[in-house]
Structure 1
């Protein structure tokens, strides 16, 4: 019997002869090979990108392709074309942070107007008022501030010349209250150095003292620094959108002139400044945690955060880890495992008995109980160092200032750093579940929006980045792949086009077609998706890849948020029950509008409190905290010369 390879070779040569070898170019030869042996090369469909599940292609007979060779039709000559270059679609990038520019306050606009200050109010009077006489102290004074703040100071004192912070020869009571708030900025995760104001040295009294240059300079500096504090408390010290393309937050402008008017009118300064900070329970809990950490001592037991220990191995870190497990275990845990820990005290060998202890501790901390000690296990059991926790809290407080002050009593909160999704209704957490979020190379963005609708048995519109980066290389050699794999292709007008008829190499990265996967069990989005349309094309959805939810680290998608219990989330936001969702799914593809205004926060917090106010810490899987901290330090450095 001849070898199979020789039989195939002979068959090919015979057919080539029958169709005139001289008329077959490289593309035709490829087409001929496919006619003989089918398009299925090995039967495996490649992973389709952010939401897809690898699956087996259908057997050829199910595709309507006989397994035996078909008569070969004459092959036409195709003129070779030069493929267009393929430039991969890149993910958003991180930027070199640029701080807000500081400008000199232009005091030349302040001219004597003949106003006089009487018991805190500004009333017309004769020229030569104490404020007028003090203006000479600003002739050589250099004060810089953020552009909007400088403009507000110039406009306010030009139209309303008079002291806000000075009375007689000394600071007012309201100035003392403001100074106390500025000095306590650290308790909010702000840097007190950003708001420093030198107290005037008052040695004279009466009218002569009011002419002291120190008093007018103190007045202007106080206004500049209090306005900066208001700006930072209201909107944050840094502009998040200058950090990266992943950050997308609406501007939070401040009416600085209205603020100066309010403070001049005699409002309670402490209450007024406290009210500039976010007014939500999470911000208060994070601040309480920060103050508590500042008051406590550092942990005495620190375990290497990069420890990797498997059963049967040894490590000097093991005794420290076991001590912490014993310290943090409740009565039931100690009753079950205390004796084992005591019997192995000081030992560095990770024995089977200790593996059982670690598995129990992992389970108690919500981790996968696999007995392997890695970074997440160390972080959960040993905790994060005090210094690291303080930094996480400072970042979290800053990030909350980018958000609305009131998050809403009913909302959905997706914390990518913690891999969790929570639905809160009327101030109570009704639902919480595990999520899969974007991988470090395909990060989930950081923004907030509003829920709009639920799609049942959805289509998946394949993003251009996935078509270009992951599908296109295969389509160039196998243009009919999409037809076989359950995808639809259409042009810009919406006309359906068979994938097999397209020259996918002709346009390079500028693909003029839309690709979508039809509803099915293999659909990358599973059985439903929950939309809040945004420019990042991010939404919540089901997934066929259920096994991912059993992992502790779940940064695995291309950016969208996969839910472990999508039916429950859909029912919650629609204000219905799971039975309703199940009934809709049986009816095929359809959509249902979310009729209530429900904000959704696609967030990233490595420190975040639960509803009881207990702060939980997560690893910085995207390394974003470090970038925020660097921007905060850069901001403080840029402000230092202005003090």
Structure 2
């Protein structure tokens, strides 16, 4: 959907079609040889474009008299690209129209034809799979990006009876995408949320200027109806609770330090979060998340089991520390089984960085861990001269057998991946009381792992609690396969819409959003206020 100022100007689709189709088609020279030569030369270094035009005998896709609908539909979406946080300069509608209008020869038309196809492929790639290659911006984003095939795009558009529909179908179909686009436009046209709240904390019964600032912010955000009250009354408390619910803050209705800090984040910063969230959704494309799937939003510190779009179970999580090599990555996979009474095979990075130095000082250190060889056999500590090895040459592993104090707790949930990341229980239950829960070495710790297991097993047994308990009571490590694999999405959204449509925001725990936004601006993304 175009912005109001765009709709009023040159760029509405209707205006574009009239503008271009109203011109007489450019006169062709004998046999169109100049057009073909110019087009072939211009696309020669692009294998996909060159092959496409060869296959169709260099028949035009954009610049012919019968191409007005396709041309107008494409130019309209190019012009509206900033509404989705896309770099419109890559597919500059104004420049394309100017080139078309200035074309005087068939050679000029061939060059415009090539420019339109290039712009279309750039737009289609960006809107359907993202502007950036994420792991080039942040190594913790290891999500596999499926880029569209240029040949499929070109042939599909050429064959489509409705170019406008074809172009619309390139946009991610996830309902959150449309809601985030709406939020972006709302923020870009919002004059601001009012004055920052000049208080560390406010509670029921408080009065004064800071309460008025709190009230005005909540009104401007849509959490409170217009009121002139200058006191922290119950209506204001309920509005604070609604804001807290959307912001991942304990919903006590009191405006404590975290609530006031979240309210005082500038609107422009929230707008950047929305732009980055749109890019993250484009990376996920139109691939289905799964009728049942597990959704772990790291800045939210919550894992959800989602069935047909509705959360049926959720639990708090602990994610990786904000230090190098311990931040939880972003990717999707499929959960295949759970391990009850797991042993913990200590990751190599932890062994050499944390435990080997201790063992070199005292061979009896970290006594809860077994020393194991490459075949998993326990090696007596007395048989190992730990001081003889370096971090690179140490040939042993460390393993913690099943126990009440095992680092993985009573169960771990496996979606085998090259990053050695999984969900698991933990004996450190106190960590779930913190609002910011970034304490692990990268894996995701669950606050309610046993209930999580019960919900997963309920799909394949009438007695999920009994099945799990029987495995637990054995005190032996055992695997329980899931009859149906469950997609797992480890994501990182600092802006995310609720089912009510209200967009909630989270802190950028790892600083990834800041890096991504910088990369987007370098790619040409410009916010509405900056476009002027």
What is the CA-CA distance between 1:286 and the residue it aligns to?
1.9
Quote the residue 2:84 is aligned against: 188
What are the Cα deviations for residues 238-264 of structure 1, in whole angstroms up to 9, with x where unaligned?
Answer: 111212321212241322122222222
Q: Check conservation: 2:320, 2:441, Cα contact below 8 A.
A: yes
Q: Indicate yes or no: 2:50 matched with 1:154.
A: yes
* Correspondences of 1:202-221 after superposition (within 5 Å): 211-221=105-115
Partner Cα separation in structure 2 for residue 362 and residue 633 of structure 1:
31
Quote the residue 2:328 is aligned against: 444
- Pair 1:268–1:371, CA change in 2 (3 A): closer
Q: CA RMSD in A?
A: 3.7
Quote the residue 1:460 is aligned against: 344
Quote the residue 2:517 is aligned against: 629
TM-score by length of 1: 0.67
Q: Check conservation: 1:326, 1:341, Cα contact below 8 A.
A: no
What is the CA-CA distance between 1:600 and the residue it aligns to?
0.3
* Correspondences of 1:396-407 after superposition (within 5 Å): 396-405=277-286, 406-407=288-289
- Pair 1:201–1:155, CA change in 2 (3 A): closer
- Pair 1:138–1:322, CA change in 2 (3 A): closer
- SS of equivalent to 2:144: coil
Quote the residue 1:409 is aligned against: 291
Partner Cα separation in structure 2 for residue 325 and residue 185 of structure 1:
30
Quote the residue 1:591 is aligned against: 479
* Correspondences of 1:251-400 after superposition (within 5 Å): 251-303=145-197, 318-319=210-211, 322-323=214-215, 327=219, 341=232, 367-368=249-250, 373-374=256-257, 376-380=258-262, 382=263, 384-400=265-281
Quote the residue 2:63 is aligned against: 166
Gaps of 5+ in 1: 1-125, 346-353, 638-643
User: Radius of gyration: which is bigger?
Assistant: 1
Q: Check conservation: 1:134, 1:212, Cα contact below 8 A.
A: yes
Q: Check conservation: 1:450, 1:599, Cα contact below 8 A.
A: yes
Q: Indicate yes or no: 2:399 matched with 1:516.
A: yes
- SS of equivalent to 1:556: strand
- SS of equivalent to 1:223: helix
Partner Cα separation in structure 2 for residue 610 and residue 370 of structure 1:
19
What are the Cα deviations for residues 18-53 of structure 1, in whole angstroms up to 9, with x where unaligned?
Answer: xxxxxxxxxxxxxxxxxxxxxxxxxxxxxxxxxxxx
Gaps of 5+ in 2: 1-27, 526-532
Partner Cα separation in structure 2 for residue 362 and residue 395 of structure 1:
22
Q: Check conservation: 2:409, 2:424, Cα contact below 8 A.
A: yes
What are the Cα deviations for residues 199-258 of structure 1, in whole angstroms up to 9, with x where unaligned?
Answer: 156779xxxx88344322221111000011111122111111212321212241322122
What is the CA-CA distance between 1:158 and the residue it aligns to?
2.7
Greater mean alpha carbon deviation, residues 284-293 or residues 441-450 = 284-293
Quote the residue 1:222 is aligned against: 116
- SS of equivalent to 1:451: strand
Q: Check conservation: 1:527, 1:542, Cα contact below 8 A.
A: yes
- Pair 1:494–1:202, CA change in 2 (3 A): closer
Q: Indicate yes or no: 2:308 matched with 1:426.
A: yes
Partner Cα separation in structure 2 for residue 389 and residue 285 of structure 1:
14
Quote the residue 1:199 is aligned against: 97
What is the CA-CA distance between 1:481 and the residue it aligns to?
2.5
- Pair 1:508–1:326, CA change in 2 (3 A): same
Q: Check conservation: 1:164, 1:264, Cα contact below 8 A.
A: yes
Partner Cα separation in structure 2 for residue 469 and residue 421 of structure 1:
29
TM-score by length of 2: 0.80
